[in-house]
Structure 1
Amino acid sequence: MTLPLILNLAIAFLVCLLLWRMQVAHVSFTKRVLAGLGLGVLLGAGLQAVYGTPSPEIAATNAWLDVLGSGYVKLLQMIVIPLIMVSIVQAILKLRTAGALGKISFLTIGILLVTTVVAAAIGVLMARLFDLSAVGLTASAAEVARGEYLQGNLAAAKEISLPSMLLSFIPANPFLDMTGARKTSTIAVVVFSIFIGISATGIAGKKPEVFASFSQFVHVAHVIVMRMVTLVLRLTPFGVFALMAKVVAGSSLDTILNLLGFVVASYCALALMFCVHLLMVGAAGFNPRRYLTKIFPVLAFAFTSRTSAGAIPMSVATQTARLGTPEGVANFAASFGATIGQNGCAGIYPAMLAVMIAPTVGIDPMSASFLLPLLAVIAFGSIGVAGVGGGATFAALIVLSAMDLPVALAGLLISVEPLIDMGRTALNVSGSIAAGTVTSRVLGETDMRVFHSDAEINLDSEEQAV
């Protein structure tokens, strides 16, 4: 190790020590996450100011920060599948009726798809207001390589159809889907868990003793899994700090300035759609300011980690412990929201790209003959988009290929892709939480006492799972 690297890591260690002391002092979870986010920005900016970008010192420091940041994300991904399975099975055992399950699924998916179309319309509007166009943009070597990569993956995107997508939700091998082998593995695990729950309720009357034993087993498994969730979530401030420091330290100000218009337009669209989410929950009877305060830690994690799927455990914990949403609804919203109707990655991003690229082939992007098919394609293409890094790229490939637009031009945005993806992912998670919150309220299942309380997610009590 070089001396600069040792000094950088020493500073990072002191920050982690400070965050740990805050945890020991029982500083609220939200404040610890906010502290981790702010300290990560400061460290990343300091590294870039001292060493410049790119530099071997920053690369070496980021490699070590990645152990903490990406390691935390991997731990969250580790518990996603067990959490989905035991939570959904237990929820169905409590529901006991297929009608209630159908209402939850219909409302949740419906809200996710409708908000994605709204997000796409906002993306089109922002692209128009900022007069964004791919005409005349020059490409660096990295952007050319990215364009070639997108072109090479075009065939896979063109093979996607609604029947094949729906078929991919059916788990031919549920154990394979538990490994996350497919883009639709999360939904497939949800479907498998639903079958387990329905099968169990089917024997409740005929074999009550067997049903009681199974219910007890699921309850025990649920308590253990939620304890795992608690242990991992305690690491959130540390993970957010490391992820944020790495992103800021590795960002190049020059490349951001070159595409500043697209960055600003993207974040204006994301902010506007986030306001739509707040209007939704406000119309459902929630105080938007209180709601925003309660979901902030989840959004901060999603922003820094760029993984909607990894945010599922924290999303479920927040919905149940802070918003008063029943566990069944929370799990359906978080699970479906990580794969269906992602407002940022599958709504705003493909819409803005399509409007930018259309003029390069002589198409008026504001004509009804272009916009109406575009919104329809985006709604369809948002089904089954993976909630991990690269999901937005795949959604863009589906939309651009369906609209007969040159996909290689999307590679021109590679320089600012990570920066924008942070905001997109936060919006994705916000959309799934809003869908669960509104669905729960419509069904009359929200515990408003929980929402109006000032209680934090309890991660420090040994008796409390979440």
Structure 2
Amino acid sequence: MTDQHTAKTSKKKMSLTAQIMVAMGVGIIVGVIFNTIQSDFINTHIVAGFFAMVGKMFVNALKMLVVPLVFFSLIGGVTGIGDIRVLGRVGGKSFALYLFTTACAIAMAIVLAQLIGPGAGFVMEGIDTSGVSAGEAPAVWDVFANIVPTNPIAAFANGEMLQVIFYTVILGVAVLMLGDESKPFIAAATYMNEVMMKIVSIVMLFAPYGVFCLIAKTFAEQGLGLFLPVLGYVITLVLALMIHLFGTLSLMLKVLGGLNPIIFMKKMRPAQVFAFSTASSNATIPVTYRSVTERVGVDKGVASFCIPFGATINMDGTAIMQGVATVFLANVYGIDLGLGGYITVIGMAILASIGTAGVPGVGLVMLTMVLGQVGLPIEGIAIILGVDRLMDMIRTAVNITGDAVVTTIVAKGEGKIDMDVFNDPDAGVVDDAPHMPHAAA
């Protein structure tokens, strides 16, 4: 009777992914209601107070895991691959594919925006364009030179992911070269990686509450009314993001990896929801890594290298935003950029994606670089500033999906994916709290 009761209870229990989806939906409803009410008490103590506190605690908890998880998993990945030549091949493939997807994303966005023509006839009324400053475009040589850290400890402390990855890979190669002497260190790194994944499980218990507060706060502050003045921009951007997500990335997965995109997208849903709620590729690294390894079946060695690498240099969604925003603002100001201008935009977006971090709001910083390079007024960013937070959430979900697609394609090419796990719909599903050891009895 006890076993039957337990089985029935586990069937009725809602999965973590379903809980997060419900929390996100309820958060949108609550946020819109609070935005409509416009109560000083609600805005000050609930939205800017409680919701902001819980949401920030949740995002901080995710970010807390990123550097140690990347370090220990990457050590295990490099030593697990074993052959330095294979490591170089994996790195070369992933780098080339990440740049390719970014170039495809922004080129498609520019073409689509040119066809739709958002911003034509836009009336600029009541928009505050003060206080918008331009970022400085990075020099291509500086971008690559800065990959090498002068102080590894500072790189770890500041979360400079490219520098962390570079140092950890060099350390892993040195560990490999020492041979049998490194076995205790590798065992310790493997154990610490398991500990970090257990902490991920603990943090994920609070995911529905964190997601609810983040979404409710965003919609309570932004509302839906901000979409109306820039509706053409929003529609074009969302359409471009969906085309890239379900078109370009799915096609790449099918053609280059020979895998079913529908199965893949279903398995990546938890990571996409996390990315949407946090608007940070870096904060979502633990969840993306878990989804790719436990749900999709990618080898941990490949995933531990490709996922943090992609979260740092692969920004398909952000590149799409830059393409659509550039066309939109060019139409608003009546400036014809021409073919050369848009080629410059593509090149700048690719370069900026390598040299900027995967944190909320970084897209606007990158956009100032692009606009300044092609001669568009930086103040125009104020026109789209109101809706950028919500757009940032969508494009971050696209960013991490691109990371996962490239990782899966590279793993398939290297024979490092478990197809039984990929084809199993229940593989890696998290449906309840992690059990304590004594609970097994």
- Superposed pair shares fold, TM > 0.5: yes
Distance 1:58 1:105, change over 3 A: same
Give the distance between the partners of 1:140 and 1:175, measured in 2 at CA.
Answer: 47
Q: Which letter does structure 2 place at the counterpart of 1:358? A: A
Matched residue of 1:120: which SS? helix
Are residues 1:410 and 2:381 paired?
Answer: yes
CA deviation after TM superposition for structure 1 residue 135, in Å: 7.0
Is contact 1:334–1:433 with CA below 8 Å preserved after alignment? Answer: yes
CA deviation after TM superposition for structure 1 residue 90, in Å: 0.8
Distance 1:94 1:456, change over 3 A: closer
Name the stretch that deviates more: 216-225 or 421-430.
216-225
CA deviation after TM superposition for structure 1 residue 24, in Å: 11
Give the distance between the partners of 1:343 and 1:94, measured in 2 at CA.
Answer: 29
Per-residue Cα deviation, 1:192-237 (whole angstroms, up to 9, x for no partner): 1111111111110xxx2x3121112112211211211111122222
Is contact 2:32–2:223 with CA below 8 Å preserved after alignment? Answer: no
Flag structure 2 segments of 5+ consecutive residues without an equivalent.
1-8
Which one of the candidate residues 298, 319, 338 is aligned to 2:271? Answer: 298
Give the distance between the partners of 2:373 and 2:301, measured in 1 at CA.
Answer: 36
Which one of the candidate residues 48, 54, 57 is aligned to 2:35? Answer: 48
Give the distance between the partners of 1:279 and 1:39, measured in 2 at CA.
Answer: 33
Which one of the candidate residues 107, 110, 119 is aligned to 2:105? Answer: 119
Matched residue of 2:293: which SS? helix
CA deviation after TM superposition for structure 1 residue 377, in Å: 2.3
After superposition, the CA RMSD in angstroms is 2.2
TM-score, normalised via structure 2 length: 0.90
Query: What is the match of residue 150 of structure 1?
Result: 133
Are residues 1:96 and 2:79 paired?
Answer: no
CA deviation after TM superposition for structure 1 residue 364, in Å: 2.4
Give the distance between the partners of 2:43 and 2:120, measured in 1 at CA.
Answer: 32
Give the distance between the partners of 1:186 and 1:221, measured in 2 at CA.
Answer: 19
Query: What is the match of residue 58 of structure 1?
Result: 43
Query: What is the match of residue 187 of structure 1?
Result: 162
CA deviation after TM superposition for structure 1 residue 103, in Å: 1.4
Structure 1 residues 62-77: aligned runs within 5 Å: 62=47, 63-77=49-63
Give the distance between the partners of 2:272 and 2:20, measured in 1 at CA.
Answer: 10
Is contact 1:40–1:244 with CA below 8 Å preserved after alignment? Answer: yes
Query: What is the match of residue 311 of structure 2?
Result: 338
Is contact 1:120–1:351 with CA below 8 Å preserved after alignment? Answer: yes
Query: What is the match of residue 368 of structure 1?
Result: 339
CA deviation after TM superposition for structure 1 residue 37, in Å: 1.4
Is contact 1:89–1:193 with CA below 8 Å preserved after alignment? Answer: yes
Are residues 1:357 and 2:329 paired?
Answer: yes
Matched residue of 1:383: which SS? helix
Query: What is the match of residue 174 of structure 1?
Result: 152
Name the stretch that deviates more: 67-76 or 122-131.
122-131
Query: What is the match of residue 163 of structure 1?
Result: 141
CA deviation after TM superposition for structure 1 residue 169, in Å: 1.0
Name the stretch that deviates more: 70-79 or 373-382.
373-382
Query: What is the match of residue 256 of structure 1?
Result: 227
Give the distance between the partners of 2:89 and 2:123, measured in 1 at CA.
Answer: 48
Structure 1 residues 225-244: aligned runs within 5 Å: 225-244=196-215
Q: Which letter does structure 2 place at the counterpart of 1:116? A: T
CA deviation after TM superposition for structure 1 residue 318, in Å: 0.3
Name the stretch that deviates more: 172-181 or 263-272.
172-181
Give the distance between the partners of 1:361 and 1:265, measured in 2 at CA.
Answer: 18
TM-score, normalised via structure 1 length: 0.85
CA deviation after TM superposition for structure 1 residue 408, in Å: 1.9
CA deviation after TM superposition for structure 1 residue 355, in Å: 1.9
Query: What is the match of residue 14 of structure 1?
Result: none
Are residues 1:203 and 2:188 paired?
Answer: no
Query: What is the match of residue 23 of structure 2?
Result: 36
Is contact 1:135–1:357 with CA below 8 Å preserved after alignment? Answer: no
Give the distance between the partners of 1:47 and 1:399, measured in 2 at CA.
Answer: 36
Give the distance between the partners of 2:11 and 2:20, measured in 1 at CA.
Answer: 14
Give the distance between the partners of 2:170 and 2:126, measured in 1 at CA.
Answer: 50
Matched residue of 2:284: which SS? helix
Q: Which letter does structure 2 place at the counterpart of 1:173? A: N
Flag structure 1 segments of 5+ consecutive residues without an equivalent.
1-21
Query: What is the match of residue 6 of structure 2?
Result: none
Give the distance between the partners of 1:372 and 1:388, measured in 2 at CA.
Answer: 26
Give the distance between the partners of 1:192 and 1:425, measured in 2 at CA.
Answer: 26
Is contact 2:202–2:434 with CA below 8 Å preserved after alignment? Answer: no
Give the distance between the partners of 2:120 and 2:364, measured in 1 at CA.
Answer: 17
Distance 1:269 1:423, change over 3 A: same
Per-residue Cα deviation, 1:216-259 (whole angstroms, up to 9, x for no partner): 21122112112111111222222111111112222233322111
Give the distance between the partners of 1:353 and 1:66, measured in 2 at CA.
Answer: 29
